[in-house]
Amino acid sequence: MKLFTSVLSAFSFGSVALGQFVQIGAPTNMTSVIPGGPISVRIDRPNFQSSALEIALVIGISTCGTGPCPGPVDGVIGTILYNGPYNPQQPPDSTIPPLPPHQYFNGTVPDFLPSGYAQLTVAHFSLVGAANGPLFETLSEVLVVA
């Protein structure tokens, strides 16, 4: 019976945590960027039922060369574009299509990135639920460096 309760508790916590994840709203996968040019990253936090205390966000970019990018690699962020607080805000109701709470981060694509593929990686840390359980996630998008 204890095993069943433990498994049920873990499953319940997992389903609560699944609703806490952020998403890269922009740029989308395979967006072209220019070395030395501007980049605007929108991080969305879909609405969810439990509370969350946002702690930090790190956005980085790294080259993949001419081959495909491997996806988020533990410990690899690349060149840091942003490191700091994350404070998503609900957009006005007039936004079409409607957007979830989000925050924009503007920066510059490093001018030393070679042509080919690059990986935009986001590391997100927050505390979720009534017990303030820690949640850490990494996600990425592939960009094309012109």
CA 64 to each of CA 6, 112, 146: distance values in angstroms, whole numbers, following the listed order: 42, 13, 13
- The larger pLDDT score, comparing residue 72 to residue 128, is at 128
Domain assignment of residue 14, given as a range = 2-145
Of the listed ranges 19-33, 83-97, 115-129, the one predicted with least confidence? 83-97
CATH of the domain at 23: 2.60.40.2550
Q: Average per-residue pLDDT in the chain?
A: 84
- The larger pLDDT score, comparing residue 74 to residue 5, is at 74
Question: How many structural domains comprise the chain?
Answer: 1
Angle at 136 between CA 135 and CA 138, to 5 degrees: 145
Residue 12 banded pLDDT, cuts 50, 70, 90: very low
In this prediction, residues 48-61 reach a mean pLDDT of 89
pLDDT at residue 62 is higher than 90: yes
For residue 43, the SS3 value is strand
Q: How many angstroms separate the CA atoms of 109 and 111, rounded?
A: 6
The predicted model scores a pTM of 0.82
H or E element, residue 14? helix 2-18
pLDDT at residue 49 is higher than 80: no
Exposure string (b/e) for 49-85, b if CB count within 10 Å is 16 or more?
A: eeebebeebbbbbbbbeeeebeebeeeebbeebbeee
66-121 pLDDT, tens digit each: 777 876 666 679 999 999 999 999 887 766 778 899 999 999 999 999 999 999 99
